[in-house]
Chains A and B, each alone.
Chain A
Amino acid sequence: DQQVKQNSPSLSVQEGRISILNCDYTNSMFDYFLWYKKYPAEGPTFLISISSIKDKNEDGRFTVFLNKSAKHLSLHIVPSQPGDSAVYFCAASAAQGGSEKLVFGKGMKLTVNP
């Protein structure tokens, strides 16, 4: 059973608008969450992370929100740029439980149109 779910396989937005990527998880032991971006024929690159003791983390155009009660997190990109077009993976870890392994979602393809 998937523990990390990205239910929308794709999203298309206009340049300059906000992109919102969603991620849900089922394992209540997860306490650290990461977003990765992946271009074709390249490995994933780390984007931003959040610990479960926070509900928001911001880095430039990227903000991640965590709603623990709903087991839901989202990545906001504003303003979106054509170079943001990529596949975005949500990942989670149960660090306090002694596991440093990451569990990934299936990814969402973001297309930012000029």
Chain B
Amino acid sequence: EADIYQTPRYLVIGTGKKITLECSQTMGHDKMYWYQQDPGMELHLIHYSYGVNSTEKGDLSSESTVSRIRTEHFPLTLESARPSHTSQYLCASSEPGPVVYEQFFGPGTRLTVL
């Protein structure tokens, strides 16, 4: 059973606000990921981390930033939210190792920027 948590689940916020989306996992996974998904569309990788102090940008360009100071915590920050940031944000983690393991997803944060 995967234990990965995201808060808040829903967020409605005005343009220009700074927001942080929280993601935590209790499985000790080194690898963590952030995806962005719009309705009816594929999940797009926007950030990933292979361990503490490791962060990389994903395939989809994003104005958000991430940090990985602790293994279990991988927050995503938007310095100045805009309506174009309205989307669902999904956090995931996976086990370490040379083999591709399935990624475990959190419940997501649905962000609406007015």
Report how many residues on chain A are interfacial, defined by Cβ distance under 8 Å. 24
- Asked if B99 is an interface residue, CB under 8 A from chain A, the answer is yes
Partner of B103 from the list A9, A102, A105 (CB cut-off 8 Å) is: A102
Cα separation A68 to B44 with both chains bound (whole Å): 24
The residue in chain B whose Cβ has the minimal distance to the Cβ of A106 is: B42
The residue in chain A whose Cβ has the minimal distance to the Cβ of B38 is: A106
Interface contact A95-B99, CB-CB below 8 Å: yes
Shortest CB distance B13–A (Å): 19
Cα separation A9 to B48 with both chains bound (whole Å): 28
A-side contacts of B31, CB under 8 Å: 100
- Asked if A67 is an interface residue, CB under 8 A from chain B, the answer is no
- Given A44-B105, A45-B105; A106-B41 close (CB under 8 Å): yes
Number of A-B contacts defined by CB within 8 Å: 56
Cα separation A103 to B60 with both chains bound (whole Å): 11
A-side contacts of B94, CB under 8 Å: 100
- Asked if B43 is an interface residue, CB under 8 A from chain A, the answer is yes
Within 8 A of B (CB), among A49-76: 49
B-side contacts of A95, CB under 8 Å: 99-100
B-side contacts of A43, CB under 8 Å: 4, 6, 90, 92, 105-108
Shortest CB distance A106–B (Å): 5
A-side contacts of B42, CB under 8 Å: 2, 4, 89, 103-107
Cα separation A94 to B33 with both chains bound (whole Å): 17
Q: Which residue, of A9, A34, A46, A105, has the highest number of chain B Cβ atoms within 10 A?
A: A46
- Pairs across A and B, CB under 8 Å, 25 listed: A2-B42, A9-B40, A32-B100, A34-B102, A36-B105, A41-B110, A42-B107, A42-B108, A43-B4, A43-B90, A43-B106, A43-B108, A44-B90, A46-B103, A49-B102, A89-B43, A93-B100, A101-B33, A101-B45, A101-B58, A101-B59, A104-B42, A104-B44, A105-B42, A107-B40
Chain A residues in the interface with B (C-beta under 8 A): 2, 4, 9, 32, 34, 36, 41-46, 49, 89, 93, 95, 100-107
